[in-house]
């Protein structure tokens, strides 16, 4: 089976091994030109896999999912398999590295917390753009956090219940005021509650944002055909676009394990 380990977080096979093992049934073979991370290695099913091929640009990675994700809206999404798709198009304020430690992603550093645990401050990175070409700043972060907390039907509401207020104290500085000390906050912001959405896209599409998601990520949303495929394409606005070597990623829901295996064997 061909493997594609691209430099941006060793997509699907290393950084998100736990998610991949649960949500991704099989990674189908890629087209010519997909390449891999030089001297990369990972362990899959107890077998250590190595790949020393040089990175090559182009190609499409097809990923078989064991179910069809629900809404492609970070505020409303609930399925585990959906996180696999979000991993390609929606980065978060924080992330979890291969050692299980929370590290900055869209934020510049881990947050600073006041002595009483009720005030949390952090800064976001400068020069980042959403897939629609608009810029990420502190105001965008505040918009997303409050939407996660307040949007009717939000699956993030309970995660952000302790959040009393969020405000931009500078172009790239954010201040969160909590009702009480909330130890899991940083970990919460390393999942879907920490995904930042384009305010322009939220305003333009409203409830239909799920069909036009726009975040900061290596790939941007192209189309979704319910029950058949979700297509993402390389986002030229991504800050590390030069390290993204695939042209597209196609996610195909194939619930039946034997059918997934048959697809893999047939190429």
For the domain that residue 250 is a member of, what is the CATH number? 3.40.190.10
Asked if 171 and 138 count as a contact pair (C-beta separation under 8 A), the reply is yes
Note down the domain range covering 132. 94-207
Residue 180 pLDDT greater than 60, yes or no: yes
Residue 89 in domain: no
Residue 55 has what pLDDT?
76
Number of structural domains (the chain) is 2
Do 138 and 67 fall within a single domain?
no
Do 75 and 112 fall within a single domain?
no
Residue 204 has what pLDDT?
97
How confident is the model over 69-125, as pLDDT tens digits?
999 999 999 999 999 999 999 999 999 999 999 999 999 999 999 999 999 999 999
Cβ partners under 8 Å of residue 163, min gap 6: 145, 149, 176, 177, 178, 179
CA 109, distance to chain mean position in Å, is 18
Do 186 and 259 fall within a single domain?
no
For the domain that residue 150 is a member of, what is the CATH number? 3.90.76.10
Do 200 and 240 fall within a single domain?
no
The residue among 197 and 257 whose pLDDT is bigger is 197
Q: Place 46 in a pLDDT band, splitting at 50, 70 and 90.
A: low
Residue 4 in domain: no
How confident is the model over 210-241, as pLDDT tens digits?
999 999 999 999 999 999 999 999 999 999 99
Do 203 and 107 fall within a single domain?
yes
Do 196 and 138 fall within a single domain?
yes
> What's the whole-model pTM score?
0.80
Do 29 and 107 fall within a single domain?
no
The residue among 159 and 263 whose pLDDT is bigger is 159
What 3-state class would DSSP assign to 100? coil
Q: Tokens 């950084």: give the residue.
A: 15
Residue 45 has what pLDDT?
62
The residue among 110 and 4 whose pLDDT is bigger is 110
The residue among 11 and 49 whose pLDDT is bigger is 49
**Mean of all residue pLDDT scores within the chain:** 86
Q: How many CB atoms lie within 10 A of CB 63?
A: 24
Residue 39 pLDDT greater than 90, yes or no: no
Do 149 and 62 fall within a single domain?
no
Residue 62 pLDDT greater than 90, yes or no: yes
DSSP 242: G
Mapping DSSP onto H, E and C, the string for 8-38 reads: CCCCCCCCCHHHHHHHEEEECCCCCCCCCCC
Asked if 220 and 244 count as a contact pair (C-beta separation under 8 A), the reply is no
Residue 158 has what pLDDT?
97
């Amino acid at each position: 089976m061909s493997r594609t380990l691209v430099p941006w977080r060793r997509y699907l096979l290393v950084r998100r091994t736990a998610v991949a093992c649960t949500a991704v049934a099989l990674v189908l073979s890629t087209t010519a030109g997909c390449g891999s991370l030089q001297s990369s290695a990972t362990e899959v099913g107890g077998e250590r896999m190595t790949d020393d091929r040089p990175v090559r640009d182009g190609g499409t990675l097809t990923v078989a999912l064991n179910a069809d994700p629900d809404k492609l809206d970070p505020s409303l999404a609930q399925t585990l398999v959906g996180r696999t798709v979000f991993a390609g198009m929606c980065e978060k304020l924080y992330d979890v590295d291969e050692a299980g430690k929370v590290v900055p992603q869209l934020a510049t550093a881990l947050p600073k917390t006041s002595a009483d645990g009720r005030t949390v401050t952090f800064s976001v990175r400068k020069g980042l753009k959403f897939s629609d070409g608009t810029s990420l700043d502190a105001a965008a972060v505040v918009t997303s956090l409050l939407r996660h907390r307040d949007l009717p039907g939000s699956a993030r509401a309970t995660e952000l219940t302790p959040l009393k207020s969020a405000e931009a104290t500078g172009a790239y500085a954010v201040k969160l005021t909590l009702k009480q000390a909330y130890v899991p906050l940083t970990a919460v912001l390393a999942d879907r509650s920490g995904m930042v959405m384009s305010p322009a896209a939220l305003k333009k599409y409203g409830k239909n944002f799920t069909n036009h998601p726009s975040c900061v990520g290596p790939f941007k949303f192209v189309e979704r055909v319910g029950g058949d495929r979700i297509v993402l394409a390389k986002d030229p606005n991504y800050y590390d676009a030069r390290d993204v070597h695939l042209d597209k990623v196609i996610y195909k829901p194939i619930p039946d394990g034997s059918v997934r295996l048959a697809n893999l064997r047939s190429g």
